[in-house]
Amino acid sequence: MDSLAAGLQELISSEERATFPPRVLAEAYHPRNVGRLQNANAQASFKGPCGDTMEFHLRIASGRVKKISFMTDGCGASIATGSMLTRLVGGKSLKAAAALTESRLLEALGGLPKEHRHCAKLAVTTLRMALAGYTDTKKKTKSGRK
Ligand code: FES
């Protein structure tokens, strides 16, 4: 039975290796910046058409993304996209974070199979929602002070 499990695992692994670039597998199996961020001042959670949810938590200060973390209940590719996105956006200016595109994220991962490209779209869409929410909150705070 152990050899059956080992054989099955090897089959899965070899299929994954044939399907996904090494960068995707590395991010999926060893994701960075996972979990809820303490003292986040921007966040968004969004459920994509596939039914999976992506969530980002950001700590923004002095116009920069000081910290960012993610959570997802999605597929391995969504874990990889969430992890890579946090690495691309962490420490960047808000302008640079907002300029991140789906194709830049896919490029950083070495690509995704066609049936998983929407996972990158889910991540970028959720990030933009979080940044838009932060901008709206700042505007409201400023106008409330006048
Ligand atoms: Fe839904 Fe990847 S995020 S299949």
Q: Tell me how far the alpha carbon of residue 137 is from its chain's centroid.
A: 22
Domain total of the chain: 1
Which position has the higher pLDDT, 130 or 11? 130
- For residue 125, being part of any structural domain is answered with yes
CA distance 13 to 76: 13
Helix (H) or strand (E) holding 122: helix 117-145
pLDDT of 141 higher than 90: no
Q: Which atom of ligand 1 has the smallest separation from the CA of 51?
A: 1
Q: Which of 42, 41, 22 is nearest to 30 (CA)?
A: 22
82 CA distance to ligand 1 middle (Å) = 11
44 CA distance to ligand 1 middle (Å) = 17
Q: Which atom of ligand 1 has the smallest separation from the CA of 54?
A: 3
Q: Taking a C-beta distance cutoff of 8 angstroms, is the pair 93, 63 a contact? A: yes
Structural domain containing residue 90: 22-145
Q: How confident is the model at residue 16 (pLDDT cuts 50, 70, 90)?
A: confident
CA distance 28 to 14: 15
22 CA distance to ligand 1 middle (Å) = 18
Residues with CB under 6 A from ligand 1: 48, 50, 52, 74-75, 77-78, 116, 119, 122
Residues β-bridged to residue 55: 45, 71
Joined tokens for residue 128: 């933009």
- For residue 7, being part of any structural domain is answered with no
Q: What is the pLDDT of residues 32-65, one digit of tens each?
A: 999 999 899 999 999 999 999 999 999 999 999 9
DSSP letter at 77?
H
Give residue 51's identity as a one-letter amino acid code: G
Q: Taking a C-beta distance cutoff of 8 angstroms, is the pair 134, 63 a contact? A: no
Residues β-bridged to residue 62: none
Q: What is the pLDDT of residues 75-131, one digit of tens each?
A: 999 999 999 999 999 999 999 999 999 999 999 999 999 999 999 999 999 999 999
- What pLDDT shows up at residue 135? 82
145 CA distance to ligand 1 middle (Å) = 42
CATH code, domain with 61: 3.90.1010.10
- For residue 38, being part of any structural domain is answered with yes
- For residue 44, being part of any structural domain is answered with yes
